[in-house]
């Protein structure tokens, strides 16, 4: 693997020299150049946070998957590390696909999917996928140890292992697709994490399975406790789910099923699958536990098959901000808010005075390259439509006709157009905490009840923010914002 790592590093360095910065984020983690997709191996180990990611260092397009790597002392400021894994061994010739990390007895273990196309590259009808492990003594350099879990009979699509320790055993969930092309998550266990020359037993139970005949795969599973009462969440990304009204409008979704589970009983869902994020660009989130016990998640802030104008700058893809996940038992759903550490990026606070508009707009902020806003709007408004315009092409607004909060983007020059929306929350006020980077926006509604994550691609000379009210009046109750420092 050493030779392949050297080659990939050389290719990455060539791209870094050419990389542009017009769209490159100032406070979101992205690869130094090349392609990035799923977050992998998020973990706190030996005094540092580690974030790995699906990475193609040879170009800005998807290709044979490597594992990129970055470390941080606070989940906010990141330092790029050498590429951790490169494909090419017999068991991962076509790619080192997604997985997770374990800190155990001073060593860092990466569990990942070894992917092999058995026919033509890209032909998913003939593949072999198995779960593999690589181990590091220093948290930077990894030695591959090969396959630790073969696919059970009847499974060809079998990937994205998430490993954890509970009740005296090691557990692993893996996303799968059975012979009937139905998506599911399989659960395995082992008395030992890893022993040289031995594999995990591939006896399994089906932890969860689709009841939608259109869903052919559950990717990137995560499974974690959300209360002290054996309540757990399966977070996964179903493929094939069709749009229903305003829901499931992205090519693929990411969301959660809430239920009861313990090692001695099957998972018992309580409710239905709910999207974790309602924006245009959110996929494959993975969570981990911080030293102080918070459950924190990061997702890929892009979407398969979507236009990616950043490719012209020799890079693609970035992560969301790290988000603390909590369980809203009253609504049986997960909530997400940015981790408190993000406040370390703030410069001097600026106040926005209360104002009421009628059939007009007003500039709030002239430069939105890297800012955080906290706005409270009155929902007791007679305007047909009111909210925010960001540059040319992006708007976040209350639509009083449909009674929804809408994030709409329109960039015909990039063949990109479409709206995502949520029902208006109850109450007479709407709180919006908004993070705007060079090519992304994250919106946290009413302290995490809903979130939107989307990429946008305005010209840098048009990144002003305006408050508007159309066909009636609207009131901004209060507001504040901070310019944010770069994380690099």
- The answer on pLDDT for 487 being more than 70 is yes
Cα separation, 183 vs 176, whole angstroms: 6
What's the pLDDT tens digit per position in 411-455? 999 999 999 999 998 889 999 999 999 999 999 999 999 999 999
For the entire predicted model, the pTM comes to 0.97
Is 55 within 8 Å of 36 (Cβ atoms)? yes
Asked about 38 being catalytic, the answer comes back as yes
Q: How far apart are the first and last CA of the chain?
A: 29
Superfamily of domain 342-484: Exo-inulinase; domain 1 (2.60.120.560)
- SS3 of 312-324: the string is HHCEECEECCCEE
Strands (DSSP E) along 169-322, which ranges? 169-177, 183-190, 205-209, 217-225, 231-239, 255-262, 265-269, 274-275, 283-289, 295-300, 315-316
What's the pLDDT tens digit per position in 36-85? 999 999 999 999 999 999 999 999 999 999 999 999 999 999 999 999 99
Is 283 within 8 Å of 303 (Cβ atoms)? yes
| Marked catalytic residue, from 38, 92, 222, 399 | 38
Cα separation, 448 vs 324, whole angstroms: 9
What's the pLDDT tens digit per position in 114-146? 999 988 787 788 899 999 999 999 999 999 999
What's the pLDDT tens digit per position in 341-398? 999 999 999 999 999 999 999 999 998 989 999 999 999 998 999 999 999 899 999 9
Mean pLDDT of 219-247: 97
Report the chain's mean pLDDT, rounded to a whole number: 96
pLDDT value at position 264? 85
What's the pLDDT tens digit per position in 10-38? 999 999 999 999 999 999 999 999 999 99
DSSP for 353-412 reads: --EEEEEEEEEEES--SSEEEEEEEES----SEEEEEETTTEEEEEETTTTEEEEEEEEG
Is 99 within 8 Å of 84 (Cβ atoms)? no
- Domain extents in the chain: 2-338, 342-484
Is 8 within 8 Å of 86 (Cβ atoms)? yes
User: What are the angstrom distances between the C-alpha of 224 and each of 172, 253, 258, 370?
Assistant: 11, 19, 10, 33
- In the CATH hierarchy, which top-level class contains the domain 2-338? mainly beta
pLDDT value at position 461? 64
What are the residues facing 175 on neighbouring strands? 159, 185
């Amino acid at each position: 693997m050493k030779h392949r790592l050297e080659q990939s590093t050389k290719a990455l360095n060539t791209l870094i020299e050419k990389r542009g910065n017009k769209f490159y984020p100032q406070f979101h983690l992205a690869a130094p150049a090349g392609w990035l997709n799923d977050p992998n191996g998020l973990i706190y180990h030996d005094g540092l946070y580690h974030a790995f990611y699906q990475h193609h260092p040879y170009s800005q397009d998807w290709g044979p998957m490597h594992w990129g790597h970055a470390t941080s002392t606070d989940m906010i400021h990141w330092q790029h590390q050498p590429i951790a894994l490169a494909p090419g061994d017999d068991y991962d010739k076509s790619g080192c696909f997604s997985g997770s990390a374990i800190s155990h007895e001073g060593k860092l273990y990466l569990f990942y999917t070894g992917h092999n196309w058995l026919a033509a590259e890209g032909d998913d009808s003939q593949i072999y996928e198995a779960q593999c492990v690589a181990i590091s003594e220093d948290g930077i350099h990894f030695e591959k140890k090969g396959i630790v879990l073969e696919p059970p009979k009847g499974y060809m699509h079998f990937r994205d292992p998430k490993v954890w320790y509970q009740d005296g055993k090691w557990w692993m969930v893996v996303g799968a697709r059975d012979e009937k092309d139905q998506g599911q998550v399989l659960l395995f266990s082992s008395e030992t994490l890893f022993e040289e020359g031995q594999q995990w037993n591939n006896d399994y139970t089906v932890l969860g399975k689709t009841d939608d005949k259109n869903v052919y795969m559950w990717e990137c599973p995560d499974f974690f406790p959300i209360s002290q009462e054996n309540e757990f969440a399966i977070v996964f990304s179903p493929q094939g789910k069709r749009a229903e009204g305003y829901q499931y409008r992205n090519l693929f979704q990411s969301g959660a099923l809430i239920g009861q589970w313990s090692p001695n009983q099957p998972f018992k869902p309580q409710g239905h699958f709910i999207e974790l994020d309602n924006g245009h660009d959110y996929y494959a989130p993975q969570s981990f536990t911080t030293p102080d016990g918070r459950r924190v998640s990061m997702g890929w802030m892009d979407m398969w098959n979507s236009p990616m104008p950043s490719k012209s700058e020799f890079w693609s893809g970035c992560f969301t901000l790290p988000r603390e996940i909590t369980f809203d038992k009253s609504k049986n759903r997960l909530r997400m808010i940015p981790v408190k550490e993000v406040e370390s990026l703030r410069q001097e606070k600026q106040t926005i005075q209360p104002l009421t508009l009628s059939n007009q707009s007003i500039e709030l902020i002239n430069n939105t390259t890297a800012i955080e806003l906290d706005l409270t709007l009155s929902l007791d408004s007679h305007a047909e439509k009111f909210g925010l315009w960001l540059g040319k092409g992006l708007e976040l607004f209350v639509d009083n006709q449909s009674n929804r909060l809408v994030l709409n983007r329109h960039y015909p020059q990039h063949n990109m157009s479409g709206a995502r929306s949520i029902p208006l929350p109850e109450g007479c006020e709407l709180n919006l905490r908004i993070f705007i980077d060079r090519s992304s926006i994250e919106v946290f509604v009413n302290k995490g009840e809903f979130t939107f994550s989307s990429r946008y691609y305005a010209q840098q000379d048009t990144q002003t923010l305006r408050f508007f009210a159309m066909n009636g009046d609207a009131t901004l109750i209060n507001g504040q914002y901070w310019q944010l420092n770069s994380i690099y």
